[in-house]
Amino acid sequence: MNSYISIADIIHLLIYIPMFAGLEHISVVVLAKAFAIGVGALGPALGIGFIGAKAMEAIGRNPEAAGKIFVPMLLGMAFAEAIAIYALVVVFTLG
């Protein structure tokens, strides 16, 4: 028997515990929106930080390659930021 907690269990707790605590539907929706943007922005934030750190490390090791590293670094950061924008769109579409 597995003893781990799944994402579905966490979502279940986030939805049903506030309802049983007497919160109205709108309060639960606000909590769901906050949770969605928090989780949706965490991954891209870590990704952008990791991309920037590795690019600066590469430029520090080989300063002549800064021109070749800079554009792919910016593209990678832009693609990672797009995921956070998708999370923001999902938050705006929630009830």
Q: Are 92 and 53 in contact (CB under 8 A)?
A: no
Please state the domain extents for the chain: 7-93
Q: For the whole prediction, is pTM greater than 0.85?
A: no
Read off the pLDDT band of 9 (50, 70, 90).
confident
The CATH number of 7-93 is which of 3.20.20.80, 1.10.275.10, 1.20.20.10, 3.30.420.40? 1.20.20.10
pLDDT tens-digit map of 30-78: 878 888 888 888 999 999 999 999 999 999 999 999 999 999 999 999 9
pLDDT tens-digit map of 23-43: 677 777 787 888 888 888 899
DSSP letter string over 12-35?
A: HHHHHHHHHTT--HHHHHHHHHHH
Read off the pLDDT band of 19 (50, 70, 90).
low
